[in-house]
Amino acid sequence: MSTLSRRDKLIPWYFVAFFVVLALVDGTMVTLAVRTQTGLVTQHPYEKGLAYNQVVKAEEQQKALGWKSDIKVEKGMLLFALKDAEGKLLNADKVTANIVRPTQAGMDFVIEIKNGKTPITFPAKGLWEVRVNAEVDAIHYQQSKRIVMP
């Protein structure tokens, strides 16, 4: 005589169903994680790592110049001023700004700054990094500043 009811016979299948649902949820989470964030922070990280000593040397040379810069965003304009060690305004041959969204890939852009200012429109609100590169008489200068756009 069997004392197990029909409902009691399904108990092992409840365990199987639990693990199948768990596997489906885990698979969905892994798929979302892989598709939404590549994990890549910079392009060509190995090559940049090999050139690290050159970057440190260039930064020391830039500090030795004593130049100071100011990066601002006011009323839809990106403003950049570069001054020498004595506080005199330097006239750069070429100035470009790499605008980088550190929190989201695919929104970065580059603009050229002429006469210390250029109009700028950010595609989204939030945190942005402005990396300015200037050339003055074959001397390279770079500066970056993080800006939060309301």
Question: For residues 81 and 69, is the Cβ–Cβ distance under 8 A?
Answer: yes
Map out the domains of the chain as residue ranges.
Answer: 6-36, 67-149
**What is the pTM assigned to this prediction?**
0.67
Q: What does CATH list as the number for 67-149?
A: 2.60.40.10
Instruction: Tokens for 33, please give them.
Output: 């994680």
**pLDDT tens digits for range 32-64:** 988 887 677 778 889 989 999 998 998 999 999
For 35, half-sphere exposure in the C-beta direction (CA atoms, 13 angstrom radius) is 6
Residue 132: exposure state from Cβ atoms within 10 A (0-12, 13-18, ≥19): buried
What average pLDDT does the segment 69-76 reach? Answer: 93
Q: Are 144 and 130 in contact (CB under 8 A)?
A: yes
At residue 1, does pLDDT exceed 50? no
How many other CB atoms are there within 10 angstroms of residue 95's CB atom?
21
